[in-house]
Structure 1
Amino acid sequence: MGKGLKGKRVGIGSSRKTEEISALIEKQGGTAVVRSLQGTVFLAEKEVEPELEALVREGADWIVFTTGIGIDTLVNISEKLKMKDAFFSRLQEAKIAARGYKSFAVLKKAGITPDAVDDDGTTRGLIRSLKDEDFSGKKVVIQLHGDPAPALITFFKDKGAHVSTILPYRHILPDQGSVEKICTEIIEQQMDAFCFTTAVQVRSLFTHAKELSLTDDLLDAFKGYVLAAAVGKVTAEALYEEGVRNYIVPEHERMGAMIIELARYYENV
């Protein structure tokens, strides 16, 4: 195995499988630094119940699903609330949009064929498939998962839709002190690269950066010395939406592929 990360200090934004990612970095000769940006994602069953009840009661013109686990969770909660049949009736009445193959697969298993799907697993891909639809005055409900998906919400609002969200899983940001330290390390070029394994980590970093008035400095660091690495398209898309343009993303959305891609980048520069 090569040593493309020799002498490189690589940050890890994950809170899961950090030992595995660290080992992959070290095998490539690098130094792994765990700096979790994941925060806490939790099942907000009590909080989502009124959102689900409102959807069942009022219906929607369009329902947009962004994660397979979110769909499964809504089905399970509707069953506990004894409104599963009513929930599925609303799904049948509405037009359905789905982002990602997992969302599509869960819907297909439930016997629901989406009216719109992305062409590449991203929010931008889903927006492309919806750009010619008329949403003026339409009620659109978007299922989210940790990531607030600002580009998707803005798209529908700009098209004149009445947008609401339903979040079976909520995200608690990591404490500001920890994120400020990470911002400082990146801005002061104490890391050569930083690995993001979820869009939530990207949002955590930039949400706190905005609160600390460090966004421009952070973007300058990513534009120059520090390379961002995204595990997949959705995470890369979050980086792009926050203004990062200098990043790498592997063709196969796996942590190992991300580290190999990172090592290959440094071998070729």
Structure 2
Amino acid sequence: MGTPALRGRRVVITGSQKTNEMSIIIEKQGGTPIIRPLQGITIFEEAQLAEPLRQFVREGADWVILTTGRGADSLVEAAERLGIDQQLQQRLTEANIASRGYKTSAFLKRKGLRAVMSDDDGTMGSLVQKLDSIDFGGKRVWIQLHGEPSPELEQLLTRQGASQVQSVLPYRHIPPEKAILETLLSEVEAGSIDAVCFTTAVQVRYLFRYAMETGRDSMLRAAFNSDVLAAAVGKVTAGALEAYGMERVIVPAAERMGAMIVEISRYYEAAAAAGKGGESWL
């Protein structure tokens, strides 16, 4: 048998879910998993949805923009508990719907709804680009977000002439502990880790925001573009890394955590075969 691809490699997992499964895969490849959860926690704020949902079923909207399948499902579930789910369904049927991502498209299919504009790329940047070609003059727009506000999207709609823009956030992200952010930054700076696995874009943003707050964003960027391998579970997460200046990001074809570890292993195998020892060679 050949040498395990991750032998001697320290691989950081920044997610908070399925860490045991990811750790086992890394260990089977000979690596050492390091858990540094950067997700924080996500709080479902149902109490904050009641009035926006009631207002929506009273007044409706010309456009509804749905950005996540999970968030869209949570709106329906909250409406059911409020006893206004049928009215919500009717308002959604009446509106022009724009959707982001395949999970949101699946939600629409389950509910018998149709989007007039779909962006299966899954990134907010791609969604904004597509919406930029639509005339929102005098239109009322209702946006379902997830975790964080999207000022870029709201500003676009305002520039395009929307008469009213309302955003609802069923879920809100709580930042990770600063001690974890500090530990990971220090490990990157010391060169004591080899790769970092990011499973959501929000993990990327928390890490780089903290690096900027502490004056180490240039160090972090340089490390990821040289000695430390950045891996993303999918293109949305990869897009967040690239937005912060990452020139080398490992992304699996199948957006799965296990597939991400396999791609990291392949990277190091190819690097070893090329005689580069794992340095940046792409």
Could you say which residue in structure 2 is the equivalent of 1:105? 106
Q: How does 1:49-198 map to 2 (within 5 A)?
A: 49-149=50-150, 152-153=153-154, 155-161=156-162, 162-198=164-200
SS at match of 2:142: strand
- Take 2:16 and 2:28, find their aligned partners in 1: how far apart are those partners? 20
Task: Give the % identical residues.
Answer: 49
Cα distance, 1:219–1:154 mapped onto 2, change above 3 Å: farther
Deviates more, 1:259-268 or 1:116-125: 116-125
Match of 1:252 in 2: 254
2:223 matched to which residue of 1? 221
Q: CA deviation at 1:250?
A: 0.3
CA-CA distance at 1:78 after TM superposition: 1.0
**Do the aligned residues in 1 keep the contact of 2:149 with 2:169 (CA within 8 Å)?**
no
Moved more, 184-193 or 103-112: 184-193
- Report Cα offsets for 1:54-112 as digits up to 9, x if no partner: 33344323211122121111011112112222222321222111111111111111111
Change in CA separation of 1:26 and 1:156 when aligned onto 2, cut-off 3 Å: farther
**In 1, Cα distance between equivalents of 2:215 and 2:65:** 33
Mean CA deviation greater in 26-35 or 147-156? 147-156
Cα deviation for residue 136 of structure 1 reads 4.0
Q: 1:2 to 1:230 in 2, by over 3 A?
A: farther
**Would the alpha carbon gap of residues 15 and 215 (structure 1) be closer, same or farther in structure 2, given more than 3 Å must change?**
same
Counterpart of 2:213? 211
Residues 2, 199 of structure 1: CA spacing in aligned structure 2 closer, same or farther, 3 A cutoff? farther
Contact kept in structure 1, 2:122 and 2:236, CA below 8 Å: yes
Q: Report deviation, 1:185.
A: 1.6
Relative to structure 1, the CA distance from residue 177 to residue 80 in structure 2 (aligned partners, 3 Å threshold; closer, same or farther) is same
Q: 1:223 to 1:153 in 2, by over 3 A?
A: farther
Does the residue aligned with 1:140 lie in a helix, a strand or coil? Answer: strand
Deviation at 1:117, TM superposition (A): 0.7
CA 1:209–1:141 in structure 2 vs 1: closer, same or farther (change >3 Å)? farther
Q: Which residue of 1 is the match for residue 277 of structure 2?
A: none
Tell me how far apart the structure 2 counterparts of residues 101 and 60 of structure 1 sit (CA, whole Å): 23
Query: What's the TM-score, normalizing by structure 2?
Result: 0.86
* Separation in 2, partners of 1:242, 1:57: 42
Look up the SS of the partner of 2:65 in the other structure.
Answer: strand
SS in structure 1 of the partner of residue 212 of structure 2: helix
User: Structure 1 residues 137-146 or 148-157, which shifts more?
Assistant: 148-157
How far the C-alpha of 1:198 sits from its partner, in A, is: 1.6
Report if aligned partners of 1:151, 1:241 keep a CA contact under 8 Å in 2: no
Change (3 A) 1:41 1:84: same
Which has the higher Rg, Structure 1 or Structure 2? 2
- AA aligned to 1:259 is I
TM-aligned CA distance change 1:9 to 1:236, over 3 Å: same
What residue identity is the alignment partner of 2:228?
V
After TM superposition, the score normalised by the length of structure 1 is 0.90
SS at match of 1:63: strand
CA offsets, 1:94-135, max 9 Å, x none?
211111111111111111101111143333443444342113
3-state secondary structure, aligned to 1:145: coil
Q: 1:205 to 1:90 in 2, by over 3 A?
A: same
* Secondary structure at the counterpart of residue 41 of structure 1: strand
Alpha-carbon distance change, 242 to 152 in structure 1, aligned in 2, over 3 angstroms: farther
Structure 1 residues 265 and 133: alpha-carbon distance in aligned structure 2, compared to 1, 3 A threshold: same
Per-residue CA deviation, residues 189-219 of structure 1 (Å, 9 max, x unaligned), is: 2211100112222222223233333323222
Q: What is the deviation of 1:259?
A: 0.4
State the one-letter code of the partner of 2:92: L
The residue number in structure 1 matching 2:264 is 262
Residue matched to 2:276: none
- Indicate the residue corresponding to 1:11 in structure 2: 12
